């Protein structure tokens, strides 16, 4: 079946295709209205060595980085994603979904603190709450181990919580899926109705056509027509002999 035939079927069964396209448009509009736009805010923090460990570097913590800091950052991220931390953050007013993880392709103990939600103002405030809570949890870990103040690992904010940006990718995917699914189902219904159309009857399918006058089938001896023609010949000869 080529494109021309597909177009002819669509024109012939427009009364099936048109309602399907209208339903598809309504479905796509519903997805557009019901699926809200999500916003995301992200901050970047890093762990710094203690004051005691930076004495040899004139107190500059950025010159003193250790692999243990990356391990601590990973442990802190796991704790922030735990159920206990989620409950604590909710109690402090965090809304929406959040995630704490080691920054992609990080060359040190850098962490991304991300919050997503449908209210831009609430998302920004929640990211601030998450950033402050991360530093608080870091201090609590070390206090539980009775670490001396001069040996405490510190946290610094590299990128503060950013202005929430709309995330339209997921919403666009839902719209494309709804439109494509509705269009495909409309075409399937159209060709299903076309396939159930009864085929037209062909002439001579149930009864053989009458032979044409003068054809071989009419004059051939042994057939009904030939037998009738042969039976009339002797009678004509006999009538001619009686007249003589």
User: Which whole number is the average pLDDT over 185-214?
Assistant: 70
Which of 11-15, 49-53, 155-159 has the largest mean confidence?
Answer: 155-159
Average pLDDT over residues 215-229: 47
Q: Please tell me the predicted confidence (pLDDT) of residue 33.
A: 86
Whether 47 shows a pLDDT value over 80: the answer reads yes
Q: Both tokens of residue 118? A: 């449908």
* CB 175, CB 31: distance < 8 Å: yes
Distance CA 240, CA 244 (A): 7
Residue 231 clears pLDDT 80, i.e. is over it: no
In whole angstroms, give the CA distance from residue 184 to residue 192.
12
Higher-pLDDT residue of 201, 35:
35
- Least Cα distance to 95 among 70, 124, 134, 67 occurs for 124
* pLDDT at residue 228 is higher than 80: no
Judged against a pLDDT cut of 60, whether residue 240 lies above it is answered with: no
Residues 6 or more apart whose Cβ sits within 8 Å of residue 159:
42, 43, 44
The stretch 185-210 carries a mean pLDDT of 72
Superfamily of domain 38-167: EIF_2_alpha (3.30.70.1130)
Confidence label for 214 from pLDDT (cuts 50, 70 and 90): low
Q: What is the mean pLDDT of residues 191-207?
A: 69
Mean pLDDT over the full length of the chain: 82
Indicate if the pLDDT at residue 106 is higher than 50.
yes
At how many degrees (to 10) do helices 120-144 and 67-80 cross? 120
CA distance 36 to 119: 10
Per residue in 152-181, pLDDT (tens digit) is 999 999 999 999 999 888 888 888 999 999
**Its pTM surpasses 0.85:** no
pLDDT at 206 over 70: no
Bridge partners of residue 156, in order along the sequence? 46
Across 125-150, average pLDDT: 94
Residues of the chain with CATH 3.30.70.1130: 38-167
* pLDDT for the residue numbered 196: 82
Q: Measured between alpha carbons, how far is 178 from 110 in angstroms, rounded to an integer?
A: 40
Residues 77-81 have a mean pLDDT of 95
Q: Report which listed range, 135-149, 166-180, 194-208, is most confident.
A: 135-149
Percentage of the residues of the chain whose pLDDT score is greater than 90: 48
């Amino acid at each position: 079946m080529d494109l021309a035939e597909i177009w002819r079927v669509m024109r012939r069964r427009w009364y099936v295709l048109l309602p399907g396209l209208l339903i598809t448009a309504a479905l796509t509009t519903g997805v557009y209205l019901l699926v809200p736009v999500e916003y995301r805010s992200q901050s970047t923090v890093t762990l710094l060595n203690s004051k005691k460990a930076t004495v040899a570097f004139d107190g500059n913590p950025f010159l003193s980085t250790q692999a243990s800091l990356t391990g601590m950052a990973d442990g802190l991220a796991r704790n922030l994603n735990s159920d206990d931390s989620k409950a604590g953050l909710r109690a402090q007013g965090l809304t929406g979904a959040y995630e704490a993880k080691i920054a992609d392709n990080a060359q040190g103990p850098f962490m991304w603190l991300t919050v997503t939600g449908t209210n831009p103002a609430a998302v920004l405030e929640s990211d601030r709450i998450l950033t402050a809570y991360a530093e608080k949890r870091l201090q609590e870990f070390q206090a539980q181990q009775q670490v001396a103040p001069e040996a405490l690992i510190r946290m610094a904010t590299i990128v503060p919580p950013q202005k929430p940006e709309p995330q339209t990718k997921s919403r666009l995917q839902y719209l494309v899926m709804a439109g494509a699914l509705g269009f495909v189902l409309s075409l399937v219904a159209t060709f299903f109705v076309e396939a159930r159309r009864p085929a037209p009857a062909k002439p001579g399918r149930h009864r053989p056509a009458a032979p044409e006058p003068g054809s071989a089938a009419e004059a051939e001896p042994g057939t009904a027509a030939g037998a009738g023609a042969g039976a009339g010949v002797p009678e004509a000869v006999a009538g001619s002999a009686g007249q003589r």
